[in-house]
Amino acid sequence: MASQTVSFVIITGLSGAGKSFAIKCFEDIGYFCVDNLPTTLIPTFAELTARSTRDIRNVALGVDVREGEYLPHLVEALAELRRRNHAVQVLFLEAGDEALVRRYHESRRKHPLAGDGSILDGIRAERKALAQFREIADRIVDTSALTVHQFKDFLIELYGTPRTRPGLATSLISFGYKHGIPYDADLVFDARFLPNPHFVDGLRPLDGRDDRVREFIFTHAESRQFLERLQDLLQFLLPFYRREGKAYLTIAVGCTGGRHRSVAVVEALRQFMEGLGLGPTVVHRDIDRE
């Protein structure tokens, strides 16, 4: 199999400056990401990536002081990538001492180079250890005054494309409370107060996707009002979730068994969200359960 060229972004810099968050951002914009791969293995990894059937074109590698004895080999590894005609950029993240100390206090993490000393001692030792890589960096970003949202927008602007720029991926789930609330739900709405088709003989064997079931449910004023208020709420919330940089939003609607009312409401929300230009993933989790 012929190899192809790959674009690599090496993300390095000071602990606490945002490397882990940056890697998540690169994942969101379509990069294949690996954190703390030993630097001596980078050329081998690049060769495997270039020959992969997955058509991997963009890779982000996180490298930091935890590499230990492998860290000095980074420059050699980058040179080897360039000899193989791969595009390579080094992104170095840093922040002021005050910002880093504050972040460590807030997270209650121990600095990897602090040893028996203070956080500030560890920061200063790390600056010295990484000075060489700061010098070879293609881009140095000081995150001291950036919020996570500003930082993400900055990375998307620099490394994203219109095709890879992330949007808000939405999911709609209907469920039955007797089977448990979906663990991954962001928003949960209870439809158990709506008129229940389960107690109508001709409707009990059907589910909320059937026109007769939907007609029974939404003939009642409280059902229509419930749906209208849900739509108003989502129309209000969705722009703010996008602005906040949220990548995924899972909306769950539950009824007792997850077969009639929750399914009908989710199907109505599907149409509403498609009308807003969204293409939600829809899962009727408990529709076939007793």
Does domain 7-159 fall under CATH 3.40.50.300? My reply is yes
Q: Which residue has the tokens 């390579």?
A: 88
For the stretch 136-146, pLDDT in tens is 898 888 888 88
At how many degrees (to 10) do helices 74-83 and 42-50 cross?
30
pLDDT of residue 275: 92
pLDDT of residue 1: 47
What whole-number distance in Å separates Cα of residue 286 and Cα of residue 180?
10
pTM above 0.85, yes or no: no
Res. 167: pLDDT tops 90: no
279, 206 Cβ separation under 8 angstroms = no
Nearest by Cα to 34 from 6, 14, 53 = 6
pLDDT of residue 220: 96
pLDDT of residue 280: 86
Lowest average pLDDT, out of 24-38, 57-71, 246-260, goes to: 57-71
Res. 98: pLDDT tops 80: yes
What whole-number distance in Å separates Cα of residue 137 and Cα of residue 259?
57
79 pLDDT tier (thresholds 50, 70, 90): very high
pLDDT of residue 161: 64
- Three-state DSSP class for 289? coil
For the stretch 1-29, pLDDT in tens is 446 788 999 999 998 899 999 999 999 88
- Three-state DSSP class for 254? strand
166 pLDDT tier (thresholds 50, 70, 90): low
Which CA distances in Å does 42 have to 25, 31, 61, 73?
Answer: 21, 16, 9, 10
Better-predicted residue by pLDDT, 290 or 119: 119
Q: Where in the chain is the domain with CATH 3.40.50.300?
A: 7-159
pLDDT of residue 125: 86
How many CA atoms lie less than 13 Å away from 150 in the CB half-sphere?
7
121 pLDDT tier (thresholds 50, 70, 90): confident
In this prediction, residues 163-188 reach a mean pLDDT of 82
pLDDT of residue 251: 95
Res. 164: pLDDT tops 50: no
265, 227 Cβ separation under 8 angstroms = yes
129 pLDDT tier (thresholds 50, 70, 90): confident
Which CA distances in Å does 94 have to 8, 55, 83, 140, 238?
Answer: 20, 32, 28, 7, 33
Which CA distances in Å does 67 have to 35, 38, 39, 290?
Answer: 10, 6, 8, 53
Q: Which amino acid is at 194?
A: L
Nearest by Cα to 250 from 280, 278, 208 = 280
pLDDT of residue 213: 96
pLDDT of residue 119: 82
pLDDT of residue 26: 93
First-last CA distance in the chain: 51
For the stretch 217-244, pLDDT in tens is 999 999 999 999 999 999 999 998 887 7
Residue 163, classified by CB atoms within 10 Å of its CB into exposed (0-12), middle (13-18) or buried (19+), is exposed
Better-predicted residue by pLDDT, 245 or 104: 104
